[in-house]
Amino acid sequence: MKRLAVYCGSATPEDPRYMDLARDVGATLAQRGIGVVYGGGRLGLMGAVAAGALEAGGEVIGVIPEALANSEVANHDCTELHTVSGMHERKKAFTDLSDGFISIPGGVGTMDELWEAMSWAQLGYHSNPVGLLNSFGFYDDLLAFNRKMAKVGFVRPAHQGILIDAEALPDLLLKMAEYRPHTPIFKMKADDL
């Protein structure tokens, strides 16, 4: 994995563990020679991921929609900063520029990006690993919900291994490196669906 898209919040929670985590994620990826592709902002966890990676000498590619770039939240310290017309183009750029995806704590935007990465993997738009860093138990309920969707039958057995989770980044990166792509829906027969 040469580059990973990192999805996270642009907010700064009161609990400093989240900002520390984001900075550590950026620094660790840079130290391992893995470039960061992210939302291009300078605020919150987004800014902390970028700062951590840059301070460790890593590559940081930001992808930001015009509306946000024009509101002075763009991080011009990035190695590269791509301005795109909207969110759809942003998420496509994340997919095109990355070899995988990691979601760390975040809000609605982070969930949107995570679920789209999973959905696109199910369908076959990409075959890259989708990781969820469950630090501090932040995503416990989401993981339980994902298991419920599978148990009820809304996530096919072939796709139940798409979401890879771990509580620590080294463990998550190891699992992601071992990921073997599944059979996407585009290659399944109607009887398999």
pLDDT reported for residue 11: 96
Q: 108-125 pLDDT, tens per residue?
A: 999 999 999 999 999 999
Q: Which residues of 36-45 are buried (b: 16+ CB within 10 A; e: fewer)?
A: bbbbbbbebb
CA angle 62, 65, 70 (to 5 degrees): 100
Q: Specify if 190 maps to a domain.
A: no
pLDDT reported for residue 95: 95
* The model's pTM: 0.94
Q: 137-191 pLDDT, tens per residue?
A: 999 999 999 999 999 999 999 999 999 999 999 999 999 999 999 888 888 777 7
Q: Specify if 188 maps to a domain.
A: no
pLDDT reported for residue 115: 96
Q: Specify if 130 maps to a domain.
A: yes
Q: Which residues of 155-188 are buried (b: 16+ CB within 10 A; e: fewer)?
A: beeebeebbbbbeebeebbeebeebeebebbeee
- Provide the domain count of the chain: 1
> Which one has a higher pLDDT value, 2 or 187?
2
Q: Specify if 152 maps to a domain.
A: yes
What tokens were used for 187? 């290659």
pLDDT reported for residue 188: 78
Q: Specify if 193 maps to a domain.
A: no
pLDDT reported for residue 192: 73
pLDDT reported for residue 191: 74
The CATH code of the domain that includes 95 is: 3.40.50.450
Q: Specify if 139 maps to a domain.
A: yes
pLDDT reported for residue 91: 93
Q: 87-103 pLDDT, tens per residue?
A: 999 999 999 999 999 99
Print the domain residue range for 111. 3-177
Q: Specify if 192 maps to a domain.
A: no
β-partners of residue 80 are 61
Q: 56-91 pLDDT, tens per residue?
A: 999 999 999 998 888 879 999 999 999 999 999 999
Q: Specify if 93 maps to a domain.
A: yes
